Amino acid sequence: MQKIIRLLSILMLSAAFNTTFAAPQVIVTYTPPVDENLKPYYEFLKSRQALEAAAGTAKLLQWPTPLTLEAKQCNEVNAMYVPGEARVIMCYEIFKDLVEKVEAQLGHHDQKYRDDIKKHAAVFLFRHELSHAIFDILKIPLIGNEEIAADAVAFHYSLEQKDMAEVKKLLQGAKFYFMRRNENFGDDTRYDFGAFSDIHPLSEQRYFNMLCYTYAKFPEEAEFLVKQELLPQGRADYCPREWKQLQDGVHRLIRPYAVKAKK
């Protein structure tokens, strides 16, 4: 995984200095929202050409197919990459949520600090979703959780820029994005910080990963996992994709080293 992350970041950086690369096609679109409460975010992002700025990062790679960056109303607080469509979607609702929570929780900081948090939380979020696009479109093999891999690639690219002032702002923004649902996370004694900071995922997460792979590999035999609600339907829907990623990763990265059976 470290080699893959390193390779992707090298590609992102080296592409910026290689004039022989074909210009990739990155399409930017702002879809007007229906909800009046979201229109200020649509107007702000469009007037500041926020997606055009984000496209600068995407254009550091050679895409075999056009990549679309879209801002739109999603009717949920989210941002996403749509597999198979080569489309990164940044929902107006996520920007609204970030702005409201920053203003509510960080009022003791000055406006510049708050604006930096908003900006860099959004930058990290975009780079995370762009990483999903990289994995899907460029067929990058993964062994492990795609969400963790997307975080790692997003952070690696950011850290490679070597501007510590910007890195600090990005870390602050990413931290706020992750912790925004609990403004007192750092002081909350209900949490076992050793469990959260351990290199291993939570044991409960590892258990559900095991169920997910089993369900995807044997959908009929393991259907009872969903029927008996041992595996939530919301997770089960993603299991076939997770299993395919694991299979592809093993076949491409490990299988070539397998000892061939004697005839």
pLDDT tens for 137-164 read: 999 999 989 999 999 999 888 887 767 8
Domain end marker among 182, 212, 230: 182
What is the average per-residue pLDDT within 79-99? 95
Q: Are 151 and 216 in a shared domain?
A: no
Q: Looking at the structure, do residues 174 and 231 belong to the same domain, yes or no? A: no
Q: Do 158 and 212 fall within a single domain?
A: no
Give mean pLDDT, residues 114-118.
88
Q: Determine the Cα–Cα distance for residues 248 and 254; give it in Å rounded to an integer.
A: 10
Is the separation of the CB atoms in 174 and 157 below 8 Å? no
**Could you give the strand order of the β-sheet that contains 79-82, starting from the edge strand earlier in sequence?**
26-30, 67-72, 87-91, 79-82
Domain identity same for 41 and 165 = yes
Is pLDDT at 257 greater than 70 in this prediction?
yes
What does the pLDDT read at residue 18?
36
Note whether 152 and 207 are same-domain residues. Answer: no
Name the H helices within the chain. 2-15, 39-47, 50-58, 92-105, 111-137, 146-159, 164-179, 193-197, 203-217, 224-227, 233-236, 239-253
Give me the pLDDT at residue 169, please.
82
Higher pLDDT pick, 181 / 153: 153
pLDDT (average), residues 227-256: 94
Which pLDDT score, from 0 to 100, does residue 131 have? 95
The pLDDT of residue 4: 45
Number of domains in the chain: 2
Q: Are residues 241 and 208 in the same domain?
A: yes
Percentage above 90 pLDDT, the chain? 56
Assess if residue 261 is contained within a domain: no
Residue 6 lies in a domain: yes
Tell which wins on pLDDT, 166 or 94.
94
pTM over 0.75: yes
State which residues form the domain around 136: 2-12+21-182
Q: What is the pLDDT of residue 97?
A: 92
Note whether 90 and 205 are same-domain residues. Answer: no
Same domain, 69 and 139: yes
Does 95 fall in a domain?
yes
Per-residue model confidence (pLDDT) at position 11: 39
Asked if 88 and 216 sit in the same domain, the reply is no
Which of 88-97, 101-110, 178-187: highest mean pLDDT? Answer: 88-97
Q: Give the mean model confidence (pLDDT) for residues 230-242.
A: 95
Query: Is residue 139 domain-shared with residue 91, that is, in the same domain?
Result: yes
Residues 149 and 242 grouped into a single domain: no
Question: Cα separation of 154 and 156, whole Å?
Answer: 6
Final residue of a structural domain among 134, 149, 182: 182
Q: What is the pLDDT at residue 174?
A: 82
* % of the chain surpassing 70 pLDDT: 85
Structure tokens at 135: 């994995």
Q: Is 64 a domain residue?
A: yes
Give the whole-angstrom CA distance, residue 151 versus residue 57: 16
As a whole number, the mean pLDDT across the chain is 85
| Residue 105 pLDDT exceeds 50 | yes
Same domain, residue pair 155 and 239:
no
Number of residues in the chain: 263
